[in-house]
C-alpha cells in the first residue's frame, strides 16, 4: 500500500511531500546601506563553510530601492570564509536559506512535521521557507542580452502581493572579486527593484564604478547571449 | 473552492499558504568550471537534470554566483567570476536544483 504525505497547492502542483526536502532559513538581517555619489557598497554576511548552495532572498525597504549584485562565495583555498555579499541603493532585508545548514527554529514542540521513509525531515512548521511566488524567464534574445540600463530596466508583471515581496537574489549576479585586481577590474552587476504598487519586478544591469571598470560591453555583461530567470517570493519573518 | 495546505507555527505565524511553493530539492552536486585566462573570459558547464524544463517551475541556487540558464533536461552554469581568471585552479561550484 502506498503511503506518505502529499499537499497540492491551488495550481495543482506539489507544495510539500515526503520525498523532497526544502531549503530552510538559517540567517536573516537588515542591511542599512545607501548609495553614495553613485557608488554602492557591498554588505558581507559570513555563512558556514559547510553551506551547500545558499538561496538568497532580498527585500527592498521601500519601492524603487535597487538590490542585487549577489555574490555567494565559498571558502577559498587562498583564504577567507564563505560569505554572501550583496548591495543596495538603500536599506534592504536579506534572508538566506540552505538545505545543509541547521535552520533557525521556532522551538515549538507541536505543529506539522513531514519525514521521508528513512526518517529525514522534508518539512517542519518550526522552520521558515522561501515561499516562491513566481519565476520569470529572461530569454537570451531579449533586451537584457546586450544592454539594459537602470533607466530602461527589463520589467516583469507580478501579482498577488499586498506588501513588498522578496526578490530572488541568486540570479542577480555580482562579480566575485577574488584576489588580484579586486578593486580595479570590476564588471557590471545585476540589480532589481519593486514598484510602489508591488506589481512590477524591474531588473537592470548596473555598471560598477572605479578605475579599470569594464562597462557596457557584451563580453562583460553577465547575461550577454544567455537566458536566465528572475523571481519573487513571500517569505514571512 | 480554494484548496491546498496552510500551515501556521505555534505562535500563529504563517509558514505555508495555499498559494505557496517553497521549492522542493530535486538534485544537488558540484561541478568544476575551469577558466583559461588567455582566452574566453567566461566558461560554461551543463548539468543534466531529468525532467527539467524551462516552464517557470524550476530554479537553481549555486555557491559561487554563476549565471544560471535553465533548459529542457539540463541547466547551464557560466562562471561570471572574472577575477578568478588570475588563478589557474579550477573553480568549484556547488549547486542545488529546486522545483516549485
Q: Could you count the other beta carbons within 10 Å of the beta carbon of residue A88?
A: 27
Q: What pLDDT sits at residue A184?
A: 39
For B:24-53, CB contacts with A below 8 A are: 24-26, 28, 41
Choosing among A13, A142, A170, which should be mutated to test the B contact, i.e. which has the most B CBs within 10 A?
Answer: A170
pLDDT tens, position by position, B34-64: 765 554 456 788 999 999 998 889 999 998 8
User: Is residue B65 within 8 angstroms of chain A, CB to CB?
Assistant: yes
Judge whether residue A181 has pLDDT over 70. Answer: no
Q: From residue A200, how far is each of A137, A158, A230, B5 by CA, in Å?
A: 14, 5, 12, 27
Distance, CA of B23 to CA of A231 (rounded, Å) = 12
Lowest mean pLDDT among A41-45, A130-134, A209-213, B15-19: A209-213
Nearest CB to A226 within list B28, B69, B89: B69
A223 pLDDT higher than 80: no
Which whole number is the average pLDDT over A159-178? Answer: 83
Other beta carbons less than 10 A from residue A157's beta carbon = 9
Contact state of A127 with B15 under an 8 Å Cβ cutoff: yes
pLDDT at site A57: 97
The whole-model pTM stands at 0.89
- Residues of chain A numbered 80-109 and touching chain B (CB < 8 Å): 82, 99, 106, 108-109
Confidence of residue A150 (pLDDT cuts 50, 70, 90): confident
Q: Which three cell numbers mark B46?
A: 551543463
Mean pLDDT, range A14-22, rounded to an integer: 89
Query: Model confidence over B68-91: pLDDT tens digits?
Result: 899 999 999 887 664 444 444 457
The reply to whether A236 touches chain B by the CB within 8 Å rule is: yes
Neighbours of A151 (CB within 10 A): 6
- The length of chain A is 237
> Rounded mean pLDDT of A156-172?
93
Question: Cα–Cα distance between A210 and A175 in angstroms, integer?
Answer: 14
- Which ipTM was obtained for this model? 0.86
Residue B23, chain A, CB below 8 Å: the answer is: yes
Gap between the Cα atoms of B32 and B87, Å rounded: 14
In this prediction, residue B9 carries a pLDDT of 85
Q: Over 70: is that where the pLDDT of B66 sits?
A: yes
Residues 6+ apart with CB under 8 A from A98: A23, A24, A26, A47, A51, A52, A53, A54, A55
- All three cell numbers of A96: 538566506
Quote the percentage of chain B above a pLDDT of 70: 79
Residues A120-144 have pLDDT tens digits of: 889 999 999 999 989 998 877 655 5
Strands laid side by side in the A55-60 sheet: A24-31, A92-98, A55-60, A166-168, A228-233, A132-138
Rama region for A219: left / alpha / beta (φ>0; ψ in -120 to 50; rest): alpha
| Euclidean distance between CA atoms B62 and A53, whole angstroms | 5
Distance CA A140, CA B11 (A): 45
Give mean pLDDT, residues A5-30. 90
Amino acid at each position: 500500500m502506498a503511503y506518505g504525505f502529499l499537499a497540492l497547492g491551488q495550481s495543482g502542483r506539489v507544495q510539500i511531500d515526503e520525498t523532497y526536502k526544502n531549503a530552510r532559513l538559517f540567517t536573516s538581517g537588515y542591511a542599512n546601506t545607501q548609495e553614495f555619489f553613485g557608488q554602492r557598497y557591498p554588505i558581507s554576511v559570513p555563512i558556514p563553510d559547510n553551506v551547500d548552495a545558499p538561496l538568497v532572498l532580498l527585500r527592498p525597504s521601500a519601492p524603487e530601492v535597487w538590490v542585487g549584485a549577489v555574490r555567494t562565495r565559498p571558502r577559498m583555498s587562498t583564504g577567507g570564509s564563505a560569505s554572501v555579499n550583496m548591495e543596495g541603493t538603500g536599506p534592504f532585508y536579506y534572508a538566506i536559506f540552505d538545505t545543509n545548514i541547521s535552520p533557525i527554529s521556532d522551538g515549538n514542540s507541536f505543529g506539522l512535521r513531514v519525514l521521508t521513509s528513512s526518517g529525514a525531515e522534508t518539512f517542519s512548521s518550526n522552520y521558515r521557507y522561501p515561499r516562491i511566488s513566481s519565476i520569470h524567464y529572461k530569454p537570451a534574445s531579449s533586451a537584457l542580452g546586450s544592454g539594459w540600463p537602470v533607466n530602461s530596466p527589463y520589467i516583469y508583471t507580478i501579482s498577488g502581493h499586498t506588501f513588498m515581496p522578496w526578490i530572488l537574489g541568486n540570479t542577480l549576479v555580482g562579480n566575485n572579486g577574488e584576489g588580484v585586481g579586486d578593486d580595479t577590474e570590476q564588471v557590471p552587476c545585476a540589480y532589481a527593484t519593486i514598484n510602489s504598487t508591488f506589481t512590477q519586478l524591474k531588473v537592470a544591469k548596473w555598471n560598477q564604478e572605479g578605475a579599470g571598470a569594464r562597462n557596457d560591453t557584451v563580453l562583460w555583461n553577465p547575461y550577454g547571449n544567455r537566458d536566465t530567470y528572475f523571481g519573487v517570493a513571500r517569505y514571512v519573518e | 473552492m480554494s484548496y491546498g495546505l496552510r500551515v501556521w507555527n505555534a505562535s500563529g505565524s504563517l509558514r505555508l499558504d495555499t498559494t505557496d511553493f517553497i521549492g522542493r530539492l530535486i538534485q544537488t552536486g558540484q561541478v568544476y568550471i575551469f577558466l583559461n585566462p588567455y582566452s574566453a573570459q567566461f566558461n560554461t558547464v551543463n548539468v543534466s537534470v531529468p525532467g527539467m524544463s524551462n516552464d517557470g517551475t524550476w530554479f537553481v541556487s549555486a555557491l559561487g554566483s554563476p549565471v544560471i540558464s535553465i533548459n529542457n533536461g539540463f541547466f547551464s552554469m557560466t562562471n561570471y567570476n572574472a577575477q578568478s581568471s588570475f588563478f589557474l585552479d579550477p573553480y568549484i561550484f556547488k549547486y542545488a536544483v529546486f522545483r516549485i
